[in-house]
Amino acid sequence: MSHLLPTYARADLAFERGEGAWLVSTTGERYLDCHCGVAVNALGHAHPALVAALREQAEKVWHVSNLFRVPAAERLAARLCEASFADLVFFCNSGAEAMEGAIKVARKYHAANGAPERVRIVTFEGAFHGRTLATLAAGGQKKYMEGFGPPVEGFDQVPYGDLDAVKKAIGPQTAAILVEAVQGEGGVRVGTPQFLRGLREICDANGLLLVFDEVQTGMGRTGTLFAHQHAGITPDVMGLAKALGGGFPIGAVLCTAEAGKGMTLGTHGSTFGGNPLAVAAGNAVLDVMLAPGFLDEVKRKALLFKQRLAEVTDRHPGVIREVRGEGLLLGLACVVPNDQMITALREEKLLAVAAGDNVVRILPPLIVAESEIAEAVDRIDRAATRLERAAGAAQQAAPKLEGIKG
């Protein structure tokens, strides 16, 4: 009997070590990891730069609280700002906290401008922004909200990609638009550059803040450091987490000085946010990702992977209907139930993760090798073949069962 609260449908599988794109189970089996802890382990497992940074920091100091300066946090904030649109950073521990902080920044901005009534935020159907009460309401998915009482007020949902619907949703109480450049949990749905640019124009025309949730897409996952860069625009506020620590828990809210002007002394806090261990991991991740050529390699490998997956889709139209995604945030939109595909992949010793719209996400580490991409494609091909054979066997058995009933 497990004493863990039963909020997860855990697979009966555990791992004892990992290296690069591979995990080794407690029974000694090797798995190719295209799950990456749901897009967290962007540099794979046991990356030497991360291991060295955490080992070195662990022998110095782990935690001091934000009542004192943390020089490495100041350095990480400066580097994130230099690599982005932002002027200011707040560190926290998770994606949900980052998005909760981003919502507070957006509302507080208008209060600081003398318009405290401007609290409503336009969000999008299919979005996922976290599991706090406010971020659940922002995502608007009833299956996650049921049983937790009245939803937090202040969010107006519209269809993803529909600029006309966005315009109609804006009123005198609107504060911001909150969007994912790619809806990961929502089915690897990619926002077009035209859509994202249109949101920027709408915000500028109406005095709103544009808030990007880059918790899953940020830190190189789509081939640029941040996914909104594909559209050639900048937000006012952005939430990061997941890959920022390469597996060590850390989140961040980034904003311009103007957008953050309401967040004054005492308005927000986090006990663990930006502690020495977390920012040591964050700085090590940036060391790798900002190295010359790293993101170019991600783009090159992503194109190769997507092309090879398209070939698998062509061979198995009864299992996979299309390939979606940007960079190494890839999705297989399935014909069969996606949980069957996940199981078939696991039987081929490949790990992937489900998403909405009957999609299987393929999220390899950004350091994945070409040979490992080829291996992943072969395993996906074999899994699809396995499902086709199972479906064929079921069809052959059906007439026999009908005959027995007759």
pLDDT digits (tens, 9 = 90+) for 373-403: 999 999 999 999 999 998 877 777 666 555 5
Q: Is 236 annotated as a binding residue?
A: no
Check the annotation: does 360 bind a ligand: no
Q: CA 137, CA 149: separation in Å to the nearest integer? A: 11
Residues 6+ apart with CB under 8 A from 221: 39, 42, 227, 243, 327, 328, 329, 363, 366
pLDDT value of position 4: 95
Q: How many CB atoms lie within 10 A of CB 56?
A: 11
Ligand-binding annotation for 371, yes or no, is: no
- Whether residue 123 is annotated as binding a ligand: the answer is no
Position 391 scores a pLDDT of 80
Q: Are 122 and 169 in contact (CB under 8 A)?
A: yes
Query: 353 labelled as ligand-binding?
Result: no
Place of tokens 């960079």: 327
Whether residue 312 is annotated as binding a ligand: the answer is no
Structure pTM? Answer: 0.95
77-134 pLDDT, tens digit per residue, is 999 999 999 999 999 999 999 999 999 999 999 999 999 999 999 999 999 999 999 9
Ranges in the chain, pLDDT < 50: none
Residue 213, marked binder: yes
Sign of torsion over alpha carbons 227, 339, 245, 42: negative
Q: Tell whether 65 is in a known binding site.
A: no
Cβ atoms within 10 Å of 139's Cβ, excluding its own: 27
Residue 113's Cα: distance from chain center in Å?
32
Whose CA is closest to 178, among 221, 238, 136, 222?
A: 238
Per-residue confidence (pLDDT) for residue 392, from 0 to 100: 76
95 annotated ligand-binding residue: yes
